Amino acid sequence: MRDYDVIVAGGGCAGLWAAIVAARRGARTLLLEKEGDIGEKIRCAEGVGTRGISQFVDIDAGWIASEVHGGRFFSPDGNCVSADEPGCGFILHKDLFLKGLADMAREAGAEIRTSSRVVGLKPLDGGGFEVCLGDGRGTSGDKLACGAVVAADGIQSGVARLGGLDTHIPTDEVFICAQNTVSSVDVDRHMVEFHFGSRIAPGGYAWVFPKGDSMANVGVGIRSGAADGRAYDYLGEFMKSRCPGAHIERSIVGGVPAVRKAPRGLYRGLFLAGDAARAADPVSGAGIVPALESAAVSGEYAAVLALGEMPYIDVEREFKKKYDGVLKWRKLRYALKKVLTALTDAEYSRLVGLIDEYSSSGASLQESGKLVKFFIKSMPRNFGMVRHLAGI
C-alpha cells in the first residue's frame, strides 16, 4: 500500500509547480520542504519575463515588486544604452510568489510539509520508492511509500544523489553569484540594469533589479575559475561605484548551473526539475521560467507513472520526448554563453553598441533567435562560433 502516489522534494518554483501538476492530474501528492516555511530562504534575483511566466500563471499584483519596461546596458568603456520594452517583465517578491504557488498546490489537493527533507530513498519491488524523512536535526524515522519521486531540491540535489544520479557539474559550467538586496539606492523602478567588464564581473555581468522606488537586488555573477577573487568581493567593489551609501538588507551567495547538457531527467521513477535538472538558462542564469517548464513535464509524468496510466517504458519514451522539447534551446544558449564569457572588454563595448542599433530598429530583445542572428552577422569573428558550436 502506498502512502502517496507522488512525493516532491523541494518547495521552490520547480517543486511547487510539479506538485500542482501532479495533484491536478489526480495523484495523491506530498511536497516536502526542508525550511520552516515556504519562501523562507530566497536565492534568486527575482526577475521574470512576461512571455515566459504567462504560460503558467496569471501574475497576482501582490507578487510584483516592480514592473519592468526595459533595460539599460553599461559597457566597459562607460557607454550606456537604453532599450525600451514596455511590459516585458516583472521583479517579483519571490517569497509571496512561492506562497501563492503553495496555495495553488493545496487547492489542487497536494499536501505540504515543512521542516521535512528526504534523507533516504529505497526502490521498492514492483516500482516506486520508500522515502525516509528527516528534519533539521537528522533522520526522523518516518518512512513513506510512493509511486514516483520528483527531485526539485536545487543545484546540489541530495535526492538525485540518493537515487543514484551523478550530480557533478564541471567547474567551467557554473556561475558563482553574489547578491545584496539593498535599500536607499537610486534606481528607476521600471528599468533593469546590466553592467559588463572584466573589472566588474569577469566572465559574467553585474545587475541591478529594482524592487520599488529605493530598493533593488544588486548582484554579480562570474564564471567559476574566471577570477581569483570571490564573487562577493566583486560585488562589494561594484556597489562602491553603483550604489554608495546603500543599506544592505539581505545577502546571498551561491552557484547557478550553466551546463551544455542536462542530466537525464528520469531514472527508475525518479524525476528531476528546476536546478536539480540544470534547467537554468546558460546565458543569463534565469531560473524561474525554466524551473516551471521542467517541473510541468516531470510533475505530469510522475503522476502518469504512479497512477499506472502507461507502462514504464512508454512513460520513459514520452517523458524524454517532452523533456528534450523543453530543453531544445539549451545547445544554442550554451554556445552563446561560451562566446559571451570569452569576449574582451573592447568586444563587450562593441556588443552594447549593437544592442542600441538592434533596439533602435524596433526589434524586441525578447526575440532571442533574431537577436543572435543579428550578432552573428555583425560580429562574425566572435559569434560565428555560435553557429559552429550549436550546429546551426
- Quote the cell numbers at residue 277: 535538472
pLDDT confidence of residue 59: 94
- Quote the cell numbers at residue 118: 528526504
Same domain, 184 and 244: yes
**192: which strand partners?**
71
Tell me which residue of 176, 250, 172, 259 sits closest to 216, measured CA to CA: 250
Same domain, 101 and 126: yes
pLDDT confidence of residue 136: 63
Q: For the chain, how many structural domains are there in total? A: 3
Same domain, 236 and 247: yes
Tell me which residue of 222, 3, 18, 215 sits closest to 102, measured CA to CA: 18
CA distance linking residue 43 with residue 38, whole number of Å: 13
The range of the structural domain enclosing residue 345 comes to: 331-390
Same domain, 136 and 25: yes
Same domain, 196 and 293: no
pLDDT confidence of residue 213: 86
Radius of gyration of the chain (CA): 21
Same domain, 386 and 365: yes
Same domain, 183 and 38: no
Same domain, 233 and 297: no
Same domain, 162 and 182: no
Phi and psi, residue 242, nearest 5°: -90, -40
pLDDT confidence of residue 224: 76
Same domain, 305 and 366: no
Residue 284 falls inside a structural domain: yes
Domain C-terminal end among 233, 257, 281: 257
Same domain, 70 and 38: no
Domain C-terminal end among 328, 358, 378: 328
pLDDT confidence of residue 1: 78
Residue 1 falls inside a structural domain: no
pLDDT confidence of residue 334: 85
Same domain, 176 and 159: no
Give me the CATH number covering residue 113. 3.50.50.60
Low-confidence ranges of the chain (pLDDT < 50): 392
CA distance linking residue 239 with residue 245, whole number of Å: 9
Q: Count CB neighbours of 317 within 10 A.
A: 11
Residue given cell 516551471 in the structure block: 292
Domain C-terminal end among 328, 350, 376: 328
pLDDT confidence of residue 314: 97
Q: Model-level pTM?
A: 0.94
Residue 192 falls inside a structural domain: yes
DSSP annotation string for 118-179: EEEEEEPTTS-EEEEEEETTEEEEEEEEESEEEE-S-SS-HHHHHTT------GGGEEEEEE
pLDDT confidence of residue 173: 85
